[in-house]
């Protein structure tokens, strides 16, 4: 017997719509026949009438049923009638699967940007065209021979790139890695995806920072993980609750972004680093260290990873070129115990057969070229310049209305509005005023927080963008 | 209360090992303490003693327990002792998740090839170096400017590549597509992954061909799909059972590779194409048409896709450059209803943030270049040549011992051994004799079938490879 599943992620009205469609397709209600009234169905099923109204609206929009005022709701002739042609119900398929869609705010921002590319973009977490090493990469591509074999790549990634990364990790990140402990992935994103899908099981508990980039990723929910949060203050993630979470919920991993955290820009303080590793090793608890921003330290200070002081093998380290070179290369890497690397390489092979060798060759050559070091120092200077432009504009346009700590690296400025307004309204007003940002709630914070990414916008547009944001904010206050 | 889950995919011994480890970590058995005997535990849990023996072996290999003959089994001092350092149990994590590992035969083949690259490779389904347009791609890369913006790409893929594909699909595949109906993916593989993960739900039933490439992909099982099979004969997939499967199991999709099918090399006969579409449209049943091989028709005949005669919108079409240009480009595409494309683009964004723009630019330029058409005709001639070398070698080395139909396109020759031998033994004997192939059982057939891929091996090695295979086969007969 069919019944509603009130635990399911699928909304009730959708379950009812599915159920009715199934009954129609099984022939219970032939084409043209009258369906029970909304009230009657609501009673039968034990839901509010409004839920059935919604279910009927869904079925109507799919052309499965038709309502005429006064004569009730009937099964469409067109869809289920004598004509034997049925298009599959693609909309229904598109809603299937256990993989959740992106957050509505993120989809809205993407849509707004694609409709109006002239928006000042404080939302996309990536480098502006003038910060990416585009001409260097162009030069590398035109001056090298790419006559190597273009077959399926090694499951762990292109070997010369892994070799270049071994040298890079030793020189820049204080890490001793070997080729076989590295897995090349499509950005850090794919590393995170592989870890959440293949090392954890539905029902497992994990801890993330609060606020956190990971909060914006439905992949954690899609994998069926239970998410617990550790608050971030000026010194990064607070650690007090880890033991409690471990005892009570048996958390299986901690995800952290200790250097210039997305979205807060904070650095995890040194004592906390040692304490975190100590706790992890006492509990045998893995730490996933996601470290895309550390080389952007504006003063060029070496911000070493947790992994470089991890003596108990607790840390999986993730890096990426996205935030220091070009997100369009889609090159990230993971340093992990070999059993983990082999398992994830095998899984990734099934998902997409690995990365194209071409961007891996380009990345390896860029890393080993004389372009790399000068690019990094130029990048740091320019990022700091953009940060300062943003801060100047905020101080000018919104004095006393917005608070922030000044980040020493990274792409993002995390702001608190002195008087919170509704997130959705603020985003829509901003779009009307020519600018996009990411509402803090996307990262799990309360209303009234805003993430401005300063890396992406053109320098000459930052002032104008913040002026637009200020107009938007003020329009909601009046 | 803990109990065994006999429905779980996790083996019983593993469940028991996990359970014991948990009890140890909760302090139930402190370091150095004696565990109950295997016999006693087996009784308590209600399993055979051998299962507990296996669980103990697992825990011993992880260093969690130690056995000394005569004095029973104890919790290790080292692992759980006074020293507070615990490395996370990475092996346990590597066994987690619902994503299943690749088939053992495929892992064995990959391992053998990486240990000994001189093996004659009749296993990898891809083009040999001399068949790929390597020099053309090199020339394209060095002669074009890649000074475009290297940011995160459009979620559906690089727009100029989608535009080039619209023209390609019209000219080569008889398909009217628009930019917005195309999703660029990491080969056909990622298209298949997205479909199985995001359009279908665990428990859904699907039909595939028998034998079939899809049978070799654990992703179908990982997604929790129930798989039903439709036998393939000389004219491709047989259709008689579709209605029955639909009635009985409510199959939700049919996956087919109608042109030069992997592994059998067959073409779906024309009447069957019409019949399949007719049935699909009567049932409102989606067809996933995976079409990587059609342009390899050795006589250059246009082998049009199902999708080109699909008037009811039943077909999602998947194409790829892997089998006609270079698998290392990792460029595939899907033509699907817009709601499906948007849904899958959104999901893919979460998994890996899309493909690098660089190989997409290369692919677009190659497709629109004067290189493309001459490459294709050279490819066809060379593939036919390699096919003929393979057939000649088989006739010489194994007269009367092996049967096959001669394929008119594609990469593969599907063979039946007149007297079947054990698959695993044959593969090991072949490796010892310097050659790899794929046992037919990987594709779901009974023992005694073999897939030889002739596209991958060097022409001058094909004879020697088959001689090695013949020695292997004969060694098992004596
Ligand atoms: C903390 C963090 N991790 C991972 C990513 C994903 O980046 P990519 O996959 O391009 O390396 C981002 C991007 O915003 C990020 O901020
Ligand atoms: C029928 C079929 N589909 C899909 C694939 C995956 O190829 P790719 O992802 O390289 O396009 C293969 C490769 O062997 C295949 O034979």
- pLDDT surpasses 50 at B376: yes
Residues in contact with ligand 2 by the CB-under-6-Å rule are: A 353; B 125, 187-189, 213, 257, 262, 290, 292, 320, 322, 327, 332
CB pairs under 8 A between A and B: 308
Q: Average pLDDT for residues B354-380, to the nearest whole number?
A: 96
Q: Which residues of A touch B81 (CB under 8 A)?
A: none
Could you tell me the distance, in angstroms and rounded to a whole number, from the CA of residue B330 to the centre of ligand 2?
A: 10
B4 part of a folded domain: no
- With pLDDT > 90 as the criterion, what percentage of chain B qualifies? 69
> pLDDT tens, B118-167?
999 999 999 998 899 998 998 888 887 665 778 888 999 999 999 999 99
Q: Cβ separation of B362 and A357 shorter than 8 Å? A: no
Do A212 and A332 fall into the same domain? yes
Averaged pLDDT for residues B341-363: 94
- At A311 the pLDDT is 85
- Contact at 8 Å (CB) between A260 and A267? yes
Query: Is pLDDT above 90 for A266?
Result: yes
| Domain assignment of residue B423, yes or no | yes
Probe ligand 1: pick from A123, A292, A295, A438, max atoms within 8 Å of CB? A292
B326–chain A nearest CA distance, Å: 6
Altogether, the residues listed in chain B come to a count of 478
Q: Does A279 touch chain B (CB under 8 A)?
A: no
Q: Do both B400 and B418 map to the same domain? A: yes
Q: What is the mean pLDDT of residues A273-296?
A: 96
Q: Which of A22, A126, A330 to mutate to test the interface with B (most CBs of B within 10 A)?
A: A330
Residue A87 sits in the same domain as residue A111? no
Residue A99 within a domain: no
Residue A141 maps to a domain: no
Q: Which of A327-336, B56-65, B77-86 has the highest average model confidence (pLDDT)?
A: A327-336
DSSP assignment string, A378-409: HHHHHHHHHHHHHHHHHHHHSTTTEEEPPPSS
**Domain boundary pick from A369, A391, A407:** A369
**pLDDT range class, residue B214, cuts 50, 70, 90:** very high
Statement to judge: residues B305 and B438 lie in one domain: no
B27 found inside a domain: yes
The pLDDT of residue B288: 98
A399 and A432 share one domain = yes
Q: Is B120 on the interface with A (CB under 8 A)?
A: no
Q: Convert the pLDDT of each residue in A324-343 to its tens digit.
A: 999 999 999 999 988 899 99
CATH number, position A159: 3.40.640.10
Confidence of residue B82 (pLDDT cuts 50, 70, 90): very low
Number of domains making up chain B: 3
Question: Residue A2 pLDDT more than 70?
Answer: no
Chain B, nearest residue to A127 by Cα: B151
Q: Is the pLDDT of residue B379 over 50?
A: yes
Does residue B138 lie within any of the structural domains?
no
Q: Is the pLDDT of residue B19 over 60?
A: yes
Check CB contact under 8 Å for A343 and B89: no
Residue of A nearest to B341 (CA): A94
> What confidence score (pLDDT) does residue B81 get?
44
Q: Which residues contact A450 (CB under 8 A, 6 or more apart)?
A: A402, A414, A415, A416, A417, A426, A437, A438, A439, A440
Is there a contact between A149 and B132 if contact means CB atoms under 8 Å apart? Answer: yes
The answer to whether the CB atoms of A150 and B187 lie below 8 A apart is: no
Residue by residue, DSSP assigns B346-379 as: HHHHHHHS---HHHHHHHHHHHHSTTHHHHHHHH
Pocket of ligand 1 contains residue A209 by CB under 6 Å: no
Atom number, ligand 1, closest to the C-alpha of residue A125: 14
Identify which of B86, B187, B199 has the shortest CB distance to residue A97. B199
Residue A212 pLDDT exceeds 90? yes
Least CA distance to B347: which residue of chain A?
Answer: A101
Nearest CA in chain A to B130: A149
- Please name the residue that has the structure tokens 């399911």: A8
Distance CA B271, CA A438 (A): 55
Whether residue A347 has pLDDT greater than 60: yes
pLDDT category, B79, cuts 50, 70, 90? low
pLDDT number for residue A476:
94
Residue A82: pLDDT over 50: no
pLDDT of residue B22 exceeding 90, the answer is: no
Give the B window 222-251 contacts with A, CB below 8 Å.
222
CATH number of the domain at A58, please: 1.10.10.10
| pLDDT digit string, tens, across residues B398-448 | 999 999 999 999 999 999 999 999 999 999 999 999 999 999 999 999 889
β-bridge mates for residue B417, sequence order: B402
Which residue in A has a C-alpha nearest to residue B149's C-alpha? A129
Confidence (pLDDT) at A436: 98
Domain enclosing residue B22, as ranges: 12-94
What is the CB neighbour count within 10 angstroms for residue B235? 13
Q: How confident is the model at residue B8 (pLDDT cuts 50, 70, 90)?
A: confident
A127 in contact with B, Cβ within 8 Å? yes
> Which positions 394-433 of A are in contact with B (Cβ < 8 Å)?
none
ipTM score assigned to the predicted complex = 0.83
How far is it, in rounded angstroms, from Cα B258 to Cα A52? 43
Q: Residue A184 has what pLDDT? A: 98
pLDDT of residue B244: 96
Residues B359 and B383 in one domain: no
For residues B28 and B389, which has the higher predicted lDDT (pLDDT)?
B389
CA distance B472 to B428: 8
Distance, in Å, from the CA atom of B218 to the CA atom of B197, rounded to the nearest integer, reads 12
Domain for residue A1, yes or no?
no
Whether ligand 1 lies within 6 angstroms of the CB of A212 is answered as no
Query: Same structural domain for residues B246 and B311?
Result: yes
Whether B351 and B416 map to the same domain: the answer is no
* Same-domain status, B70 and B113: no
Q: What is the reported pLDDT for B243?
A: 96
Q: What's the pLDDT tens digit per position in B224-270?
A: 999 999 999 999 999 999 999 999 999 999 999 999 999 999 999 99
Query: Of A340, A369, A398, which marks where a domain is finished?
Result: A369
Note whether B220 and B163 are same-domain residues.
yes
> pLDDT at position B69, please?
76
Tell me, yes or no, whether B125 and B273 share the same domain: no
The stretch A207-232 carries a mean pLDDT of 95
Which of A13-17, A144-148, B197-201 tops mean pLDDT? B197-201
Average pLDDT of chain B is 91
How, if at all, do strands A205-210 and A253-256 pair? parallel
**Strand pairing class (B226-233; B205-210):** parallel
Token pair recorded at residue B42 = 């087996």
Name the pLDDT band for A6 (thresholds 50, 70, 90).
confident
pLDDT tier at A146, thresholds 50, 70, 90 = low
The arithmetic mean of pLDDT across residues A109-117, rounded, is 92
- B233 lies in some domain: yes
Which comes out higher in pLDDT, residue B205 or A338?
A: B205
Nearest CA to ligand 1 atom 13: A125
**What is the mean pLDDT of the segment spanning A170-190?**
94
Q: Name the band, by pLDDT with cuts 50, 70 and 90, for residue A458.
A: very high
Is B126 an interface residue toward A (CB < 8 Å)? yes
Strands B449-453 and B438-439: antiparallel
pLDDT tens digits, one per residue of B319-340: 999 999 999 999 999 999 888 9
- CA-to-CA separations, B356 to A321, A369, B330, B352, B433, in angstroms, rounded: 12, 20, 10, 10, 40
pLDDT computed for residue B84 by the predictor: 52
User: 3-state class of B402 per DSSP?
Assistant: strand
Alpha-carbon gap, residue B169 to B330, rounded angstroms: 18
Residue that wins the pLDDT comparison between B171 and B150: B171
Lowest mean pLDDT segment, chosen from A86-95, A247-256, B202-211: A86-95
Residue A279 and residue A215 share a domain: yes
Q: What CATH number has the domain bearing residue B405?
A: 3.90.1150.10
**Three-state SS across A327-351?**
HHHCCEEEECCHHHHHHHHHHHHHH
**Last residue of a domain, which of B369, B397, B423?**
B369
Ligand 1, residue A192: give the atom nearest the CA: 4
Does A81 have pLDDT greater than 70?
A: no
CB of A187 within 6 A of ligand 1: the answer is yes
């Amino acid at each position: 017997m069919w019944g509603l599943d009130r635990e399911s992620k699928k909304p009730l009205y959708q379950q009812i719509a599915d159920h009715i469609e199934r009954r129609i397709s099984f022939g219970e209600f032939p084409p043209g026949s009258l369906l029970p009234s909304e009230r009657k169905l609501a009673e039968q099923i034990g839901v509010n009438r409004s839920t059935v109204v919604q279910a009927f609206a869904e079925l109507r929009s799919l052309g499965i049923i038709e309502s005429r005022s006064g004569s009730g709701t009937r099964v469409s002739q067109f869809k289920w009638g004598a004509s034997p042609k049925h298009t599959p119900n693609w909309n229904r398929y598109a809603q299937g699967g256990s993989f959740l869609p992106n957050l509505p705010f993120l989809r809205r921002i993407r849509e707004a940007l694609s409709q109006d590319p002239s928006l000042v973009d404080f939302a996309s977490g990536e480098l502006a065209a003038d910060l990416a090493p585009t001409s260097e990469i162009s030069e590398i591509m035109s001056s090298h021979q790419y006559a190597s074999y273009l077959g399926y790549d090694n499951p762990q990634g292109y070997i010369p790139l892994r070799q270049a990364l071994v040298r890079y990790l030793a020189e820049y990140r204080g890490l001793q890695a070997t080729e076989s402990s590295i897995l090349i992935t499509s950005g850090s994103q794919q590393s995170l995806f592989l870890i959440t899908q293949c090392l954890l099981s539905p029902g497992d508990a994990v801890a993330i920072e609060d606020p956190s980039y990971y909060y914006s990723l439905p992949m954690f929910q899609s994998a069926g993980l239970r998410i617990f949060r550790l608050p971030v203050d000026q010194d990064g993630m607070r650690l007090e609750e880890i033991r409690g979470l471990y005892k009570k919920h048996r958390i299986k991993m901690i995800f952290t972004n200790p250097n210039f955290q997305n979205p807060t820009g904070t650095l995890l303080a040194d004592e906390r680093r040692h304490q975190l590793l100590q706790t992890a090793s006492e509990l045998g608890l893995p730490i996933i260290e996601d470290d895309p921003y550390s080389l952007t330290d504006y003063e060029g200070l070496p911000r070493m990873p947790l992994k470089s002081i991890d003596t108990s093998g607790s840390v999986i380290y993730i890096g990426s070129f996205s935030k220091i070179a070009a997100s369009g290369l889609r090159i990230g890497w993971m340093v992990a115990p070999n059993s983990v690397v082999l398992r994830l390489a095998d899984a990734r092979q099934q998902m997409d057969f690995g990365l194209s060798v071409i961007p891996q060759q380009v990345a390896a050559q860029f890393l080993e070229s004389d372009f790399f070091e000068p690019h990094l120092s130029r990048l740091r200077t320019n990022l700091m310049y953009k940060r300062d432009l943003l801060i100047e504009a905020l101080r000018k346009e919104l004095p006393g209305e917005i608070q922030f700590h000044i980040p020493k690296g990274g792409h993002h400025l995390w702001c608190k509005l002195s008087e919170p307004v509704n997130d959705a309204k603020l985003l829509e007003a901003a779009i009307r005023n020519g600018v996009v940002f990411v509402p803090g709630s996307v990262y799990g914070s309360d209303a009234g927080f805003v993430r401005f990414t300063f890396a992406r916008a053109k320098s000459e547009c930052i002032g104008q963008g913040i002026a637009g944001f200020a107009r938007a904010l003020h329009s909601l206050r009046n």
